[in-house]
Every structure is written in C-alpha cells, then in structure tokens.
Amino acid sequence: MFDNIGQMVLLFWRTLGALPLAWRQRQKVFEQFFEIGNASLLMVCMLSFFIGGVLSLQTGPALVERGLPSAVGGIVGLAVARELAPVMMAILIAGRIGSAMAAEIGSMRVYQEIDALRTMNINPIHYLVLPRLVAIALALPMLVVLAILIGWFGGATVAEINHHMAIPFAVFFGDLRSMVELKDVANGVFKTFCFAIIIGTVSCHQGLATIGGPRGIGRSVTKAVVNSIILIVMFDYILTRLLLH
Amino acid sequence: MNSTDQKPYGVKLEVRGLRKSFASQEVLQGLDFTVQPGEIFVIMGPSGSGKSVLLKHLIGLEAPDAGEILVNGESIMTPEIAAKYRMALVFQSGALLNSLTVGENVGLYLTEHRLKPPAEIERIVREKLADVRLSEAIHKMPGELSGGMKKRAAIARALVIEPQLILYDEPTSELDPLSSVVIGQEIWNLNQNTRVTSLVVTHDRDLAFGVADRIAVMDGGQILTIGTPEAVKAFPDARVQTFLNADFKREPRFKNI
C-alpha cells in the first residue's frame, strides 16, 4: 500500500487542480451522488440504528447500576457523533461504493476505454475521478449526519424499551443535549469528509492502476477496500488527536 | 469530382529509429518508415511482433525509449504539437464506453470538448453512424451490439474527430469473414472519400492485401520489408514468406466493391 501513497497523493492533487471544472461535470456528479445515496441509504439507516442501540445496551445497564442513568444519553450521543457514525459509515461506504468505483474504473482500464478517452484528448481524471470524488465528498458527510440522528434514536429506543434501563426518551435526549455540542457533530462530519476523500482517491487510484484481465479487476477491488479501511482507521486516530486539541 | 482526384486531407507520418523495451525485452527495435498523406499503409505481422505497441506510440499512449515520430515534419513527442493534429485510433475491441449509448459514444469528443451545440452534435452523430451503416443502433448500449457493429461504431466515433490520421488496431480480429469484408470496405471507402491517412495494423492477410497501398511486415520488433502488396508477396525472405505463404491465389477485391 505504502509504495502507492505518492501516486495517490498525486492523483488527489491533480483532481484538486481540476476542481474548477466540477461545475462542467455536474451532471456526472449528480449521477454519482444519487448512486451513492441510492445504494447506501437503507444500509446506513439500519446500521446506525443498531449501532446506537447496541451502544446503549452495552453501557446503559452498567451506568444505571451505578446510579448514573442520566449519563447514558450523553455517552451514546458523544460516541455516535464523534466516532461510531463517521468510522462505521466510512467503512460501509468503502465496501459498498469504493469497491464499485474501483471495479468500474478498473474494467474501463482493462477494456481500453480509458485509452480511448485519452486518444480523444479527454482527461480521465476530469472525466472519471473528479465527479466521483466530488460526489462522495458531498454524499458521505450527509449520510453521516443522518446516521448520527438515527444512531441517537436507536440508542434512545433501546434505553427506553430495555427493562434494565427504562430511560424515557425525554431524559435520554435531555442528557444528550447537555453533553453533546454542535462542535462534536461538526468534528464527526469533518472527519467523514476526510474519509470520503480517502475512499474516493484510493478507489479511483486502484481502478486506474488496474492491470491484467478480470483477475486484475478483482485484485484492485480488494486493494481499494482494504487500503481504504486501513487509511480510515489511521486517519481517524490522527484527526481525533488534532480535533480534541 | 472523382474522390481520388481530391488533394490529400491526411498528414504525412514518419517514424524514425523507434525503440521500446519492457523489462529486458526490446519490443520495438529501431523502426523506420514513412506513411504518405492519404495513403493506406498496412503493418502486418504475427501476434507479439510489436504492432499494437507501435500503434500506442503513434497515438501517444506510450513514450518511446529512443527515436521520434513526425507528423508533417513536426515531432509529436510534445503534447502541444500532438494536439495540432487530429489523430484517431480504432481499438481492437472497439473500446466503446459501456455506460454510454452508441450515440453518446460517437458524440463523446464533441460533447466533452463542447465544440458544438447539442442539436448539432446529434446531427453529426446521426450522419457518422449513417456513414458506417449503423443508424439503427444510435440508442443501443454497446453490450447489445455484435463485434462487427462495435467496430463500426468505433470507426464512427473516430470520424467525429475528422481525423487527419486514423489508426486501426486489428480491425477484423474476432469477426466472421462477412463482417471482416464489411470493415475492409469501411476502411477503403473512408480513405477514398476523405483521403485521410490510414495506418492499419493487422495479421489478416485478406484485409491487408485488399486495402493496402503499401504493406510493412513486422516480426520480433523489426520491419522485415516495406513495399506494394505485389512487392511484399515477392519478397524473398523466409520469415516473410512463412507468414504470407498460404492462399495467395484468392485475393479479395475490397477496392472494387
């Protein structure tokens, strides 16, 4: 993975340089944006509801036992907003969308469609990478905002219906409001934006670097997902350190 | 006006001392040849002789280790000079973008570079598809086309550029004999109608001897001989004759169709 980091940075830099052309490619950006939303929305809702629920289930009874039922909402709220929603959704999108990007661009590379673009003087970075990167950078933070809200709702639901806790919605959200600040959500969304850039860059790079036939495409897809997840977890630590201070 | 009386629209292509190695294998070993404006120049040779690599150099998809490529006397090794000349490559597989319809593929160059308004682009696309007798496929996806139709669509896409040099990479590979004849006709008719300089890379002898003004035979990254079809047939080199030895008596007559 690390031997490709320079190439990935270069690809990102070139895409950044092409950003003024994003408006010209808006049709493709919208297509990608809706594809990401369409492919991920239901999964995001289900995953985030259960993440919030399981967090509530894991922490709630212990806190209630120690006489801290009012802390459940705050802990679930903070954990979901700062960490779980951004990281879990990024991993989900790396698997669902990053793999699709690498496969699509990889097959275009293998079947000479990218060469055909170049012979028509169409820059593959402008035509393929830019719309995907812009779309994922817009879509993923939006999905994470939704995931945070649903995660909180899942946590509150489990806290209320679980007989070990039986914490009313009002108490749960009252505590959540007192502990979670807007900057916590903003930090989570900012981290997600960075993860989206990582997923888009890594996946497009792997697609463009595909060699060989269908086997090469398979290898690229695997690399795109694995490398994205590794970088997401590494950058999660780095960004968390920076944002906490 | 007789089409053959027109002034050649195509460019002159010169390849000088072109060399390319991949790892330790020298795929192109100092190629030298010239293609005259408006000529159909065919490069023949067995698989692995370096023909496709040569085409990628000509269109700028690969950079040579040594040597140069000149168009109308100017080196096209710099992107600025290369951009001056309109060159198109018809890929072996057609290389149509699978996510676009045939019409969108054919108009892609004009659409992406915003060279014409949408209505004008549609008119040109319909015209070019009609030129290759593929009008009915305008709304079809590439996956719905046969191999021959894909190649004709790829030719239509190349025509939209209004090329001065058109390169064909194995245009009849994987096609049945009838489709091969149709593609041969398209190459011939296009050259006669526009006088575009055409370079065809193939190992299809019927196609080569049917359309070529001159033929070069390549093997092992070298050009063994260059000449008119008759001269190449008579060239007394064992490797050339081994490649050409079969069935010379039946000569298809693309030029007369």
Contact (CB<8Å) A113/B97: yes
Domain ranges for chain B, please list them: 22-85+166-246, 97-163
Contact (CB<8Å) B89/A118: no
Does residue B51 register a pLDDT over 90?
A: no
Question: Count of A–B CB contacts within 8 Å?
Answer: 49
Taking chain A (245 residues) in runs of 10, the rounded mean pLDDT of each run is 82 93 90 90 94 94 87 93 95 95 95 90 93 96 96 95 89 92 94 96 95 91 95 95 83
CB contact A170 to B (< 8 Å): no
- Among A186, A158, A153, CA closest to A61: A158
Query: Mutate which of B106, B109, B112, B199 to disrupt the A interface (most A C-beta within 10 Å)?
Result: B112
Q: Which residues contact A101 (CB under 8 A, 6 or more apart)?
A: A132, A200, A203, A204, A207, A224
Per-residue confidence (pLDDT) for residue A1, from 0 to 100: 64
The residue type found at B64 is P
How far is A140 from B117, CA to CA, in rounded Å? 35
Contact (CB<8Å) B112/A116: no
Confidence class for position B7, pLDDT limits 50, 70, 90: low
Confidence class for position B6, pLDDT limits 50, 70, 90: low
Q: At what angle do helices A5-17 and A130-161 cross, to 10 degrees?
A: 100
Q: At what angle do helices A182-208 and A5-17 cross, to 10 degrees?
A: 110
Confidence class for position B199, pLDDT limits 50, 70, 90: very high
Confidence class for position B48, pLDDT limits 50, 70, 90: confident
CB contact B80 to A (< 8 Å): no
Contact (CB<8Å) B91/A108: no
How far is A17 from B2, CA to CA, in rounded Å? 50
Per-residue confidence (pLDDT) for residue B4, from 0 to 100: 44
Residue B197 pairs in a beta bridge with B165
Supply φ then ψ for residue A147, to 5 degrees. Answer: -65, -40
Angle at A43 between CA A40 and CA A47, to 5 degrees: 135
How far A53 CA lies from chain B's nearest CA (Å)?
40
Contact (CB<8Å) A112/B91: yes
The residue type found at A107 is S
Contacts of B83 in chain A (CB under 8 A): 121
Condensed to tens digits (0 to 9), the pLDDT of residues B104-136 reads 999 999 999 989 999 999 999 999 999 888 999
Q: B146: which 2 tokens?
A: 């046969």
Tell me the CATH number of domain B22-85+166-246, given options 3.40.50.2300, 3.40.50.720, 3.40.50.970, 3.40.50.300. 3.40.50.300
Q: Which residues contact B178 (CB under 8 A, 6 or more apart)?
A: none
CB contact B76 to A (< 8 Å): no
How far is B173 from B152, CA to CA, in rounded Å? 13
**Residues listed for chain A:** 245
